[in-house]
Copies of this chain bind each other. A is one copy, B any other.
Amino acid sequence: MEDIVKLSLLYDFYGALLTEKQREYFELHYFNDLSLNEIAQHFNVTRQGVFDIIHRSLEFLKQCEEKLGLVERYLKQKKVLERIKSQLEEIRPYINSEGSGILERAIRDLEKLVKEGWE
């Protein structure tokens, strides 16, 4: 998994437990691609101060995942959902027209569920 994807997931799941300031610095650095120096200048604080806050935030998010494992659980569920979706797509040739409407609805619902966690 790419680092930024992992970071986004950690932030998506646990970010609301950070303080407003931590979230602000974290987002500017990781999602808006601002350097520590740029953030320091913008808020008129030291680069070290920015580094500390972002570093502690990241460690906190990682600790949350270590203890709760909800991102890992989500990723596992996502894999199972994708497998079920493939199975349903495999069924298409074996179903008659009466049933295919229900099948397509189920596939659409599954697709939505797989995507949801990423939005």
Listed in ascending order, the chain A residues whose CB lies under 8 Å from chain B are 13-14, 16-17, 64, 67-68, 70, 77, 80-81, 83-84, 87-88, 90-91, 93-96, 98-100, 102-103, 105-106, 109-110, 112-113, 116
Contact = CB atoms under 8 A, between A and B. Distances in A.
A95 B91 contact: yes
A102 to B, nearest CB: 5
Tell me the interface secondary structure of chain A in the complex. Answer: helix
A34 to B, nearest CB: 25
Top 5 nearest A-B pairs by Cβ distance?
A94-B99, A16-B67, A87-B106, A91-B99, A84-B106
B67 A70 contact: no
A102 B90 contact: yes
22 contacts: A13-B70, A16-B68, A17-B64, A17-B67, A17-B68, A70-B70, A77-B113, A81-B113, A87-B106, A87-B109, A90-B99, A90-B102, A91-B91, A91-B95, A91-B103, A94-B95, A94-B96, A94-B98, A94-B100, A94-B102, A95-B95, A95-B96
